[in-house]
């Protein structure tokens, strides 16, 4: 047997961060492009854009900044607040997963039953 969990962060009862949302933000940061991040996530551009706006609205902070035109036709990147949120969530998740395994062993005794 093994323990599993799905984690997320809410603000005022509204979903802010989840594995899915943070993966989207990570892809935007890595590719510098919302369009490319959407493709990597298997999302339409419109849906990815809407998701980012929803996260920002629920959090009350701007997470992505977009430059228009210029070299490469502009692009998107995380704001300092966006990067901080991603890093905090990833740290939180990694620790929570580690704890989960430890608590499973403590409670179920690490046996196969």
Residues near a copy of itself, by CB under 8 A: 1-11, 16, 61, 81, 88-89, 91-92, 95-96, 99-100, 103-104, 106-109, 113
Tokens linked to 16:
């802010």
Between CA 56 and CA 52 the distance in angstroms is: 6
**DSSP code at position 110:** T
- Least separation in angstroms between residue 52's CB and a copy of itself is 18
3 versus 41: smaller Cβ distance to a copy of itself = 3
CB contact at 8 A, 22 and 86 = yes
7 versus 45: smaller Cβ distance to a copy of itself = 7
């Amino acid at each position: 047997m093994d323990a599993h969990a799905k984690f997320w962060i809410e603000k005022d009862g509204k979903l802010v961060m989840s594995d899915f949302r943070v993966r989207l933000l990570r892809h935007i940061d890595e590719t510098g492009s919302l369009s490319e991040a959407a493709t990597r996530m298997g999302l339409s551009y419109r849906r990815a854009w809407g998701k980012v706006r929803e996260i920002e609205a629920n959090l009350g902070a701007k997470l992505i900044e977009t430059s228009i035109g210029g070299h490469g036709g502009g692009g998107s990147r995380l704001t300092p607040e966006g990067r901080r949120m991603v890093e905090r969530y990833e740290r939180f998740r990694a620790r929570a997963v580690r704890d989960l395994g430890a608590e499973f062993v403590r409670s179920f005794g690490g046996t196969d039953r």
